[in-house]
Structure 1
Amino acid sequence: MSEVHIFDVDHTIIKQSTGRCFIKEALSNNLVTMSQVVKLPIKYIMYKLGLLPPEAVEREIRNLKGIKIDLLQNLSLDSFNRQGKSQLYTDVIQRISELKSQGHRIIAATSSVEFLVEPLLNYLEIDEFIATKMEVIDGEITGKTIGSPVFGNGKKVAVEAYFKEQNLDLNKAIFYTDSINDLPLLQTCGTPIAVNPDRLLRKKARKSNWKILIYKDILGK
């Protein structure tokens, strides 16, 4: 019987975040400033503690207003080829490949914006994904999102909507993630699996007897 497996992306499929890889490319192309970059560690800590509100994602997207989408897509592809690809977890790649060969359905669900994760998903041949959508008019970012960011409870809502549209049963789905921010979806899906969980998710997973997977090996150069 075919199963549906949902994978978070950052720190679940890839060791680093796709955003962190992209920032290095964006810095060299003057799309972000050092003053913006130095704030990232604070935002990362807030994210890990589950304290980063969805509005923070919207603020970051507003900073992209007026930038050509094809420029962002090209930079994202460059950052994946130069940095991101080497950071992919080999065990996760193998697991996804085996699941696909067995006829199971793979869906990625990430709070990242689409252009950040598309190179990674294309590389892994994952055709179905749910991500934060940016509004683009005449090839330029407007600074607005289409719908709510796919973050926290927003990810659960987006996945529920997608499953309803596809006539799938979320109660039978398997969800893999590293982050306590995904707790709403973890508590909704049929089988929650913590992958390299952060401290809070590890504690919750142990208390709830959820499966915990620890992956360390990456593709490397």
Structure 2
Amino acid sequence: MALAIFDLDNTLIGDDSDYLWGEYLVAEGLVDESEYRQRNEEFYQDYKAARLDIDAYLRFAMSPLPERTPAQWKGIHDKFLTQAIHPVLLPKALDLIEKHRTRGDYLLIITATNGFITRPIAELLQVDEILATDPELVDGHYTGRYLGTPCFGEGKVTNLEQWLQGSPHSLQESYFYSDSINDLPLLERVSHPVAVNPDPRLQALAEERDWPVMDLRDA
């Protein structure tokens, strides 16, 4: 059984779930529109430019959570899945997941987007496990803080290595699919790195290193 690892945003889905969530909060009037939308856009541009301050971003992204209970947020998130995530599901990505599932591979999403947003998406995609930066809960309420090492850049490697210590899996004959140069540390660790609709820097690197480049968006 091989380990098939997938980035989520702009890899398995055709957009960025973190960014979409921020836009959804604004559209629903759940956050201050002018301030939140501007900061959401700034952080997204920083991510694409590979200069994201992940700690600052996670604190920003999780700041609305203490304002409601987990049960209240679940109802909001269910609506978000229907309105924002279902439209950006990629048939070719679903086929890729199914290909690995049929082979008996273990399906793992590893994402920089926090677990509050992404765990329901992982359930929708029916993968085996997801590694993400999870929000802190104290006495059943969100604090606005996060747990552990952010699952971003080199932190994806750190979180994966910790997970592997308690699992029967290894990186032998492993796959990792990603669109982003931010994922270079993990792409360099697996047996089979695959660039999926890559950003320009990853595209150039994949060509230089003769890594496969895959298009999951072309109909």
TM-score, shorter chain, exceeding 0.5: yes
Q: 1:73 to 1:111 in 2, by over 3 A?
A: farther
Contact 2:58 2:114 in 1 (8 A): no
Is it true that 1:138 corresponds to 2:139 in the alignment? yes
Deviation readout 1:75-109 (Å, 9 max, x if unpaired) = 22211111211101110101111221221110010
Partner of 2:182: 181
Question: How many aligned positions are there?
Answer: 217
Q: Give the structure 2 partner of residue 20 of structure 1.
A: 19
- Determine whether 1:215 maps to 2:198: no
Shift of 1:210: 0.7
Instruction: Give the deviation of 1:141 after TM superposition.
Output: 1.2
1:72 aligns with 2:76: no
2:156 maps to a residue whose letter is: K
DSSP-derived class of the 1:112 partner: coil
Q: Once structures 1 and 2 are overlaid, which stretch shifts more, 2-11 or 73-82?
A: 73-82
Show CA shifts across 1:108-131 (max 9, x none): 101111121122211221131101
Is 24-33 or 2-11 further displaced after alignment? 24-33
Question: Structure 2 unaligned runs (5+)?
Answer: none
Aligned equivalents of 2:65, 2:10: Cα separation in 1: 27
Q: Which runs of 5+ in 1 are unaligned?
A: none
Which AA in structure 1 matches 2:155? G
Is contact 1:160-1:170 (8 Å) kept?
no
- AA aligned to 1:70 is A
Aligned to 1:102: 103
Residue deviations 1:46-69, cap 9 Å, x none?
Answer: 111211122223321452352322
Alignment-derived partner of residue 10 in structure 2: 11
- SS of alignment partner, residue 134 of structure 2: strand
- C-alpha displacement at 1:153, in angstroms? 0.8
- Identity fraction in percent: 26
Q: CA deviation at 1:188?
A: 1.0
Contact kept in structure 2, 1:195 and 1:214, CA below 8 Å: yes
Structure 1 runs (4+) greater than 6 angstroms displaced: none
Question: CA deviation digits over 1:15-54, x for unaligned, max 9?
Answer: 1111233223322142343212123332222111211122
| Partners of 1:87 and 1:153 in 2: CA distance | 27
Q: Give 1:36-185 correspondences, 5 Å limit.
A: 36-61=36-61, 63-64=63-64, 66-67=66-67, 68-185=69-186
The farther-off stretch of 9-18 and 119-128 is 119-128
In structure 2, what is the Cα distance between the partners aligned to 1:55 and 1:69? 22
Query: Offset of 1:73 from its aligned partner?
Result: 2.8
Distance 1:211 1:71, change over 3 A: same
Give the partner amino acid of 1:59.
Answer: R
Please state whether the residue corresponding to 1:176 is helix, strand or coil: strand
Distance, in Å, in 2 between the alignment partners of 1:124 and 1:196 is 19
In the superposition, the TM-score normalised over structure 2's length comes to 0.91
